[in-house]
Amino acid sequence: MFKIAKYIIFDILKSKVLLAYTLLLAIICTSIFMADADVTKGLVSITTVMLIIVPLVSIVYATTYYFNAYEFTELLVSQPISRLHILMGKYIGISTSILLAFVLGVCVPIAVFAFSTTGLTMMATGALLTLSFISLAFWASTITRDKAKGIGLALMIWFYFAIIFDGLVLLFLFLFGDYPLEKAMIAIISLNPIDLARILILLQLDISALMGYTGALYQQFFGSGLGIAFSLILQLLWIVIPMILALKIFKKKDL
């Protein structure tokens, strides 16, 4: 498993796409911090970028690499290696490479310009978000053998969590606005890893007052130790559950 991961890591590190992704993140983050002396404003701007670009690149790159290495996967399956070790080796290799790009592109600038509890929260949240969308990429990749369909499904997953989900939540609030929905919103947010990350970061930035009564509820729940533990467990579930589903499909799949 770790030999497979090591091979994949060295192969991906040669990729110009991953290098461009790292440089793009580093340039954006550094430029934001240097353009404004207010660290809080810089972190808010980086949060917006991170919640859009990081999930998108993670899920698309992981899906694309999975299909580009399909012949390598077929070769591994023909060897006396369990499919569990094959899939987990691929996951460790791909996720380590993309996480390294995130660390160099986002975590290093934050550590240099805004090292604080909020900065550490952003680093950890971004890393968990990266891993969760890589897991979703593996789930999307194992469903179909067609590369175009796989990438299309990955893009739809990102589009749903980044844009459509919030629209559905607004529609839900509009239709049932006469009912007390504050506590129900906590359960609804749990269904979207991007929203979980957004709420945790905004609460650390102490601007939840701008979110009204709902923000006060989020502050009361997610701002507590129990709430933080709850959100971290949910983020981990968004990593584990898609990988379990992908593994079940991969074990039964006829390559």
pLDDT band (50, 70, 90) for residue 213 = very low
Mean pLDDT over all residues of the chain? 83
State pLDDT tens for residues 103-158.
999 999 988 887 888 788 888 889 999 999 999 999 999 998 888 898 999 999 99
Judge residue 34's burial from the number of C-beta atoms within 10 Å of its C-beta, 0-12 exposed, 13-18 middle, 19 or more buried: exposed
The answer, yes or no, to whether residue 162 has pLDDT greater than 50, is: yes
How many CB atoms sit inside 10 A of residue 193's CB? 26
State pLDDT tens for residues 35-66.
877 777 788 888 888 888 999 999 999 999 99
Q: Which positions ≥6 away from 112 have C-beta within 8 Å? A: 33
**pLDDT for res 221:** 59
Q: Nearest-CA neighbor of 127 among 174, 217, 80, 193?
A: 193
Entry pTM: 0.90
Whole-angstrom Cα distance, residue 195 to residue 153?
A: 20
**pLDDT for res 6:** 83
Q: What is the mean pLDDT of residues 22-41?
A: 85
State how far Cα 157 lies from the chain centre. Answer: 12
Both ends of the chain: CA-CA distance in Å? Answer: 19
